[in-house]
Amino acid sequence: MADEPNKLRAEIRARQAEDGKKAMAEYEANVAAVRIKTEKLRALRLAREAAEQAAPPPAATKAKASKPAKKKKKAAAGKLSDWLEDQTDSGRNT
């Protein structure tokens, strides 16, 4: 009778050890997969950067003739006193 609890504990420990080995194997497989993906992506990035450096820069393209470019009007650089005067003339008191 005293042996039964010991056998149960031994079985539980054996299962836990087996589960631990499986979990560790999965973890290591995931780490290896991530490492492989990272190396592949790094190689692709380096190849792309090398191709970009080797290729001449693209020529500047002209704006489409059908749509004229809208130009923003810049506000005339004025003095603060002119602006304040304009505000008071328009009826603003504060």
Rounded CA-CA distance 49/43 in Å is: 10
Query: DSSP 3-state assignment of 8?
Result: helix
**pLDDT at 52 exceeding the cut of 60:** yes
Rounded CA-CA distance 47/13 in Å is: 51
User: Tokens 């020529």 belong to which residue?
Assistant: 59
**Sequence-ordered alpha helix ranges (H) in the chain:** 3-54, 80-89
Rounded CA-CA distance 13/20 in Å is: 10
N- to C-terminal Cα separation, the chain: 96
| Model pTM above 0.85 | no
Rounded CA-CA distance 89/79 in Å is: 16
Instruction: Give residue-wise pLDDT tens across range 60-79.
Output: 776 555 666 666 666 666 78
- Give me the pLDDT at residue 49, please: 93
Do residues 69 and 63 make contact, with C-beta atoms less than 8 angstroms apart?
Answer: yes
Instruction: Give residue-wise pLDDT tens across range 20-43.
Output: 999 999 999 999 999 999 999 999
The mean pLDDT of the chain is 85
